[in-house]
Amino acid sequence: MHTAFQGISFRLAKVTVVLAFFLGISMTGLQLYMDFLAQSDTLDVLAKRVSKVIEPPATRAVHTLDDDLSLEVVNSLLAYDFVYDVVINDELGNALASGSKPVAKSSTSWLTQIFLNESKTYYTELLTPEYGRGVVGQVVFKVDVNNALADFYARSYVVLLSGVIRNFILSFLLFFAFYKILAKPLIKMNKEVLSINPEHPGDSRLSLPHLKDDNELKELGVSINHLLNVVEDFYTKRVKVENDLRESEGTIRTMINELPAMVVARDADGFILFSNYRFSSFCGKEIDEISGKNIFDLEFLYNGQDQLRDQLKDNTSRLDTEDYYIEGYFGSYSGEKTFLQVRSNLVTIYGKKAYLIVMYDISDLKSVEERMTYMAYHDTLTGLPNRPHLVERLENEIIRARRHKYCGAVLFIDLDHFKTVNDSLGHPVGDELLRQVAQRLNLGVREEDLVSRLSGDEFVVVLTVLGDDFDKACLSASEVAEKLRESISLPYQHGDINLHISCSIGVKIYSDEITTAEEILRFADTAMYQVKNHGRNAIEFFNEEMSNKVNKQLILEGELHKAHKNKEFVLFFQPKYEAKTQEIVGAEALIRWFHPERGMVPPGEFIGHLESIGLMSDVGYWIVEEGCKAIRKIEQAGHWRDGMRLSINISPKQLLDNKFVTGVQEILEKNPIPANSFDFEVTESVAIGSIDNAIDIMNELIKLGISFSLDDFGTGYSSISYLKKLPVENLKVDYSFVRDIVVDFSDRVLVETIITMGQMLGLKVVAEGVETEEQLKILDAFGCDYYQGFYFARPLPMDDFLGLISSNNSEEK
């Protein structure tokens, strides 16, 4: 803070005073100098006057040589203060009288010396008027100039002193005036400005000087106040924006915390920028404790699996600019293993590159998937590999045998009269027996062989690598088959009862011929049926005669061509019921073949052949077209309601055909039907080749208003991954599970799992093959959405279907 003497007013006063002082001094000096010169002239005039006064008496004294008078004259002259030495001389220059007095020293002598002589001598000639004005003598007197100027000096001193005093007073007055007018308001203004918070002035403003007229200070004050208004306005807006931001940040934070996922953001080096509550509690910490930590240092997360962490690190460094996705078992702080789906996206947070990681705990889904995968490949009763597993393994074995030129054998084993055991002793006993048979079969073969259960009481054993000699392979196969037959025939202990059961075994040797697993199984099955026909409990090899039977299939395939031409195919309709309302909400179109001699042939007997002879595509288009006609018919009868769907089974080959989408589109253009009326049923096998291709085709069809159902779920791969990816709306539980749901605990568990899992994934679940009220009750308890089955209605011709829908849904009309 400046003192008043550093202030602007003091400086202004100082400058003014210095200027005034120099100007005053110079002017006064000049004035005095002029006066001084004038004083010198005055002295001469004075000396002349004195000379005039003393001239007569002095003349007389000289003339008369009167010493006394001379002395009187001398003394009268010395009576002047400024005269200090007088001599009166006669005409010859002799001194008649003289006198002097000491010259008083004065403080101004130096000044006089500078400008004049200290002493000045005057000569007065003494003339006698009577004698022709001759010179009779002379008076010489010396004047002390300094003394003569004493008055002048005294006056000048006063003038000088008053000048200084005047300047001093002037400077004080100027200082006061400047201070009052300029400095004080400025200091006040400055104090006020300093007292205001520059970031948030609030109501504080400068008090303006009370001046009538505007001046620069007032204008400065107004300008500062205006500036403060702007700052305050800006501050208010900023505070509002900050509050809004804080509020929206709070909302976003709450939303992030409420998300059913763990969210964490980290910087490029792995340091956590923020996380949500779920993530912090997964780490057993508070949110604040987590931020700033390095995610790669959270050891428990990786559950001791450095590989997982490295993978995460690797991914991030390699895919620095890309988003990535991994799945794996992570550990929580308590050491619990959790299966997480981790998605990391590159984002910009506060202008810096960061990664937003979202983790979903999909442990439940994962364990269901693992269970489903196991169930999909294993028979739940015996734990043996099931049909899909067998087919997959057998395909590989066939390829290996062909490549390495050796033989293998397939033993198709069917228990004799097993149904009797079930019927007489009950299913639990039957199940126990099947488990023991499975054990005995496993014990009777080598580790590299495969024992599987196809269904019910059918088992298949694959004997791999039986050598390259066909005859020896036949011998080995028959020995093993015999050993197995004997082992199965041994009694089974059940409580007090000894049970006996035999089996029929069909054998097919495979070697280097080009064949498929299905074909070999069919041959072995044929051989097994031959044993049954010949009285059971024996072994038979597939032979020539049996191959004739196979030939019959070729005949069938020939007939199918004719059937298509002769329009022997018909569509039947099986209604689909909504569980809640018991209303018919759609139907499944099922193909029937009216054979001229054999009568109605079910699709199970010919669909596969239609595929293998390449007719499925043509027949498939015919079915879609017939489906359109059926919908029109139901609509015209007034029974088609919004939301109803007609389901059509589409085989994988059909769906994956390049021309399928355009084919369907053309049919829909030719046969206009209400929007969104079709539902296509596909099985998981559509996804086997290329799931992306299947998804693309399905999405194209979805654009045409067609929905999708996943048919026969549980019999194939039962992959949750397919289920998640394929764009299906419904999941159909295969009727083979529904069939035994009342008696078979494992089927019941499986159906419940499928329903729960389907609903978890947002799908509607349809149970097909519902035949009894007990089955319905169980399915109802599991929360199944739709039903289909003989309990409600069998597949019906169109007219019968129309009758049924009109009576069932009548209240709605």
Hey, is 435 helix, strand or coil? helix
Q: Which is nearer to Mg ion, 89 or 683 (CB)?
A: 683
Write b or e for each residue in 473-489: b if 16 or more Cβ atoms lie within 10 A of its Cβ, otherwise e. bbebbbebbeebbeebe
How many chain residues touch Mg ion (CB under 5 A)?
A: 4
- CB contact set of 237 (below 8 Å; sequence gap of 6+): none
CA distance 361 to 330: 10
- By CB under 6 A, is residue 712 in contact with ligand C2E? yes
Residue 635 tokens read as 């609509």
Stretch of 225-233, 285-293, 367-375, 782-790 lying at the interface with ligand C2E (CB under 6 A): 782-790
How many chain residues touch ligand C2E (CB under 6 A)?
A: 23
Give the residue, chosen from 369, 684, 747, 768, that forms a contact with ligand C2E under the rule CB under 6 A. Answer: 768
Q: Which is nearer to ligand C2E, 397 or 588 (CB)?
A: 588
Site string for ligand C2E, 665-684 (x = CB under 6 A): ----------------x---
Q: Which is nearer to ligand C2E, 59 or 685 (CB)?
A: 685
Stretch of 50-58, 69-77, 373-381, 768-776 lying at the interface with ligand C2E (CB under 6 A): 768-776
- CB contact set of 716 (below 8 Å; sequence gap of 6+): 376, 388, 683, 684, 685
Residue 778 tokens read as 């169980």
- By CB under 6 A, is residue 649 in contact with ligand C2E? yes
- By CB under 6 A, is residue 735 in contact with ligand C2E? yes
What part of residues 616-635 is at the interface with ligand C2E (CB under 6 A)? 623
Q: Which is nearer to Mg ion, 394 or 793 (CB)?
A: 793
Bridge-based pairing of strands 337-349 and 352-361 is: antiparallel
Q: Which is nearer to ligand C2E, 559 or 768 (CB)?
A: 768
Site string for Mg ion, 701-740 (x = CB under 5 A): ----------xx----------------------------
- CB contact set of 6 (below 8 Å; sequence gap of 6+): none
Stretch of 225-233, 296-304, 309-317, 786-794 lying at the interface with ligand C2E (CB under 6 A): 786-794
Stretch of 378-386, 522-530, 589-597, 636-644 lying at the interface with ligand C2E (CB under 6 A): 589-597
Give the residue, chosen from 59, 280, 464, 574, that forms a contact with ligand C2E under the rule CB under 6 A. Answer: 574
For the stretch 515-519, contacts whose Cβ atoms lie closer than 8 Å and that sit 24 or more positions apart, written own/partner, are 515/398, 516/395, 516/398, 517/390, 517/391, 517/394, 517/395, 517/398, 518/391
Which of the listed partners (Mg ion, ligand C2E, none) does 118 bind, with a CB threshold of 5 to 8 Å by partner kind? none
- CB contact set of 464 (below 8 Å; sequence gap of 6+): 397, 400, 401, 408, 448, 449, 450
Q: How far is the CB of 573 from ligand C2E (least distance, A)?
A: 11
Q: How far is the CB of 776 from ligand C2E (least distance, A)?
A: 11
Which of the listed partners (ligand C2E, Mg ion, none) does 607 bind, with a CB threshold of 5 to 8 Å by partner kind? ligand C2E
H or E element: which one contains 265?
A: strand 262-267
Q: Which is nearer to ligand C2E, 361 or 712 (CB)?
A: 712
Q: How far is the CB of 712 from ligand C2E (least distance, A)?
A: 5
CA distance 668 to 647: 15
Which of the listed partners (Mg ion, ligand C2E, none) does 559 bind, with a CB threshold of 5 to 8 Å by partner kind? none
Strands (E) across 477-549 are located at 492-494, 497-499, 503-510, 539-541
- By CB under 6 A, is residue 769 in contact with ligand C2E? yes
Give the residue, chosen from 449, 711, 740, 747, that forms a contact with ligand C2E under the rule CB under 6 A. Answer: 711
Does the CA dihedral 429-433-439-440 come out positive or negative?
A: positive
Q: How far is the CB of 310 from Mg ion (least distance, A)?
A: 45
Nearest to 535 by CA among 502, 507, 509: 502
Give the residue, chosen from 167, 651, 707, 715, that forms a contact with ligand C2E under the rule CB under 6 A. Answer: 651
Give the residue, chosen from 476, 771, 800, 808, that forms a contact with ligand C2E under the rule CB under 6 A. Answer: 771
What part of residues 620-649 is at the interface with Mg ion (CB under 5 A)? 649
Stretch of 157-165, 189-197, 280-288, 764-772 lying at the interface with ligand C2E (CB under 6 A): 764-772
Nearest to 32 by CA among 206, 153, 134: 153
Hey, is 268 helix, strand or coil? coil
Which of the listed partners (Mg ion, ligand C2E, none) does 187 bind, with a CB threshold of 5 to 8 Å by partner kind? none
Q: How far is the CB of 796 from Mg ion (least distance, A)?
A: 15
**Cα torsion for 714, 716, 722, 727, to the nearest 10°?**
-70
| 633: Cα separation from own chain's centroid | 53
Which of the listed partners (Mg ion, ligand C2E, none) does 769 bind, with a CB threshold of 5 to 8 Å by partner kind? ligand C2E
Q: Which is nearer to ligand C2E, 474 or 607 (CB)?
A: 607
Contact, 344 vs 318, CB < 8 A? no
Q: Which is nearer to Mg ion, 449 or 712 (CB)?
A: 712
What part of residues 653-692 is at the interface with Mg ion (CB under 5 A)? 681
- By CB under 6 A, is residue 591 in contact with ligand C2E? yes
- By CB under 6 A, is residue 292 in contact with ligand C2E? no
- By CB under 6 A, is residue 369 in contact with ligand C2E? no
Contact, 147 vs 101, CB < 8 A? no
CA distance 710 to 730: 6
Nearest to 343 by CA among 315, 318, 305, 304: 315
Q: Which is nearer to ligand C2E, 312 or 766 (CB)?
A: 766
Nearest to 74 by CA among 44, 91, 96: 96
CA distance 795 to 663: 27
Stretch of 353-361, 385-393, 689-697, 783-791 lying at the interface with ligand C2E (CB under 6 A): 783-791
Give the residue, chosen from 129, 495, 599, 604, that forms a contact with ligand C2E under the rule CB under 6 A. Answer: 604
CA distance 405 to 710: 40
Q: How far is the CB of 321 from ligand C2E (least distance, A)?
A: 46
H or E element: which one contains 217?
A: helix 216-258
Q: How many residues does the chain have?
A: 813
Helix axes 216-258 and 184-195, enclosed angle (nearest 10): 0
Hey, is 767 helix, strand or coil? strand
Stretch of 191-199, 245-253, 540-548, 583-591 lying at the interface with ligand C2E (CB under 6 A): 583-591
- By CB under 6 A, is residue 607 in contact with ligand C2E? yes
Which of the listed partners (ligand C2E, Mg ion, none) does 574 bind, with a CB threshold of 5 to 8 Å by partner kind? ligand C2E
- By CB under 6 A, is residue 795 in contact with ligand C2E? yes
Radius of gyration of the chain (CA): 65
Contacts with ligand C2E, residue ranges (CB under 6 A): 574, 589-591, 602-604, 607, 623, 649, 651, 681, 711-712, 735, 768-771, 788-790, 795
Contact residues: Mg ion, CB under 5 A? 649, 681, 711-712
